[in-house]
Amino acid sequence: MPLQSRHLLGLEGMRRDDIQLILDTAVSFREVLDRPIKKVPPLQGKTIANLFFENSTRTRLSFELAERRLSADVLGFAATGSSVSKGETLKDTARNIEAMKVDMVVMRHSASGAPHYLSRVIDANVINAGDGTHEHPTQGLLDMFTIRERLGRLEGLHVCIVGDIAHSRVARSNIFGLLTMGAKVSVCGPATMIPREIERLGVAVHHHIDDVLPHVHALNVLRIQLERDAGRLFPGTREYHLQYGITRARLEKAGREITILHPGPINRDVEISADVADAEQSVILQQVLNGVAIRMAVLYLLSTRN
């Protein structure tokens, strides 16, 4: 059964079967990435525009690589130095790019809901590569794929997301996706970083990391935005590390093997200690590799959906 929507805007409300289909399809593309020639032809003749209105390195590179490995033609676009700085509206920018016969648009934007708006004004398939503090669906999917690859399932697992939940689109996509797949989700962080009434989504809230660690199978450690939040949402990086940093000692006290995820880029010895980031139980680099496979799966499923 094909995906329900012709766009990928978020994991909120996505059917369980659709998530399952994307994760299963990504297994086949993960195999392609191990081949001597890491390129397959299904998107030959398709053109994909990557519209990054907000800075991004790894997500943009990951999408670009996924597109090229499917043999699509790729158009790059960065907001700085483009017509956007001359005052063009989002709609006009997108329409101009679409006039060049683009089949799919991958967009990152600082405004929540920007890709949803775009999907209503252009004909191309739209993929959300991160919108404001709303969603980052391919990150949520690759996190689920990586957990499933490591632990063999999602149903019944307990995943805790640690950090600035309030400003994190990664957290939201993880929460929606994991709950749909039957996992238990909790969030942990200082009160300034936990949105009010987040319990209504169906997640448990913790403020002490040591309380929750003995119960979790996987931890998704979010990046602390040092440049933006130090002194505002928490007193300082040392204080944060003492209270919420994922350290070897903490994990040993929890008494169980916990899989560690991080969407990157990591701040060593702030949200995660250097030895944990490099430990065998950390799947951070697998996430990067799996991200390409997940994006290939999404692009493939949307473009062959017809």
Partner 1 sequence: MFSAFGDRNKTELRMRKLKAQIIDDAGFDRTVTRLAHEILERNKGAASIVIVGIRTRGEFIARRIAKTIEQVENVTLPIGSLDITLYRDDLLGKLEQPQLKGTDILFDLTGKDVILIDDVLYTGRTIRAALDELIDLGRPRTIQLAVLVDRGHRQLPIRADYVGKNIPTMASESIRVHVREVDGEDAVLLMHPEEDD
Crossing angle for the helix pair 58-69 and 284-303, nearest 10 degrees?
50
Q: Which is nearer to partner 1, 22 or 162 (CB)?
A: 22
Q: Which is nearer to partner 1, 49 or 213 (CB)?
A: 49
Residues that bind partner 1 (CB under 8 A): 2, 24-25, 27-28, 31-32, 35-37, 39-43, 45-46, 300-301, 303-306
Report how far residue 217's alpha carbon sits from residue 156's, in angstroms, rounded to the nearest whole number: 10
56: CB partners within 8 A, 6+ apart:
108, 129, 130
Residues 302 and 3: beta-carbon distance below 8 Å: yes
Report how far residue 185's alpha carbon sits from residue 146's, in angstroms, rounded to the nearest whole number: 16
- Residues in a beta bridge with 127: 8, 106
The full length of the chain comes to 306
Instruction: For the CB of residue 153, give the shortest distance to partner 1 in the complex, in Å.
Output: 19
Q: Which is nearer to partner 1, 31 or 92 (CB)?
A: 31
Tell me, what amino acid is at 95?
R
Instruction: For the CB of residue 128, give the shortest distance to partner 1 in the complex, in Å.
Output: 21
Q: Is 59 a catalytic residue?
A: yes
Burial of 298 (0-12, 13-18, 19+ CB in 10 A): buried
Among 136, 169, 206, 223, which one carries the catalytic annotation? Answer: 136
Laid out side by side, the sheet with 73-78 consists of 73-78, 47-52, 104-109, 125-131
Instruction: For the CB of residue 140, give the shortest distance to partner 1 in the complex, in Å.
Output: 21
Q: Is 136 a catalytic residue?
A: yes
> 29 by DSSP, 3-state: which?
helix
Instruction: For the CB of residue 287, give the shortest distance to partner 1 in the complex, in Å.
Output: 21
Instruction: For the CB of residue 178, give the shortest distance to partner 1 in the complex, in Å.
Output: 24
Q: Is 86 a catalytic residue?
A: yes
Among 7, 108, 148, 217, which one carries the catalytic annotation? Answer: 108
Q: Which is nearer to partner 1, 27 or 151 (CB)?
A: 27
Q: Which is nearer to partner 1, 38 or 208 (CB)?
A: 38
Q: Which is nearer to partner 1, 32 or 201 (CB)?
A: 32
CA 227 → CA 230, 231, 287, distances in Å? 7, 10, 25
Among 59, 138, 237, 259, which one carries the catalytic annotation? Answer: 59
Residues 128 and 9: beta-carbon distance below 8 Å: yes
Instruction: For the CB of residue 154, give the shortest distance to partner 1 in the complex, in Å.
Output: 20
Active site residues: 58-59, 86, 108, 136
